[in-house]
Amino acid sequence: MVYFVATIYFDKDKGYEYSEYIEKVVPIVEKYNGKYIIRSEKITPLGIDWKPNRAIIIEFDTKEHLEECFASEEYRKIASLRENSVNSNAIILE
């Protein structure tokens, strides 16, 4: 199993594009055998310098599925919705 972990930072006033992104990304992730483990805005930071607004963990069967998902034409069509509305950090855990 491989895990995609992302933290999201956003301004509540710019939420429309990100909301549209969330709606459109779920079926794309699922198409590539991704399973959402958690998507939450209920976060308790343990350090003072790390305060994301949202955290996401997605499980994929293989790294190839993960890479295919985020390199897919479907994903590239909606990526700008996320890029234009939030700041994010992501890692892959194997």
Question: pTM of this prediction?
Answer: 0.91
DSSP 32: T
Q: What is the pLDDT of residue 15?
A: 66
Burial classification of residue 34, based on how many CB atoms lie within 10 Å of its CB (0-12 exposed, 13-18 middle, 19 or more buried): buried
* Cα distance between residue 13 and residue 86, in whole Å: 11
Domains and CATH numbers, the chain: 2-93 (3.30.70.100)
Percent of the chain with pLDDT over 70: 96
Please compute the mean of the pLDDT values over residues 67-85 and round it to a whole number: 95
Q: For residues 94 and 89, what is the distance between their CA atoms, to the nearest angstrom?
A: 17
Give Cβ neighbours of residue 88 (< 8 Å, ≥ 6 apart): 6, 7, 8, 9, 82
Average pLDDT, the chain: 93
- How much is the average pLDDT of 55-73? 98
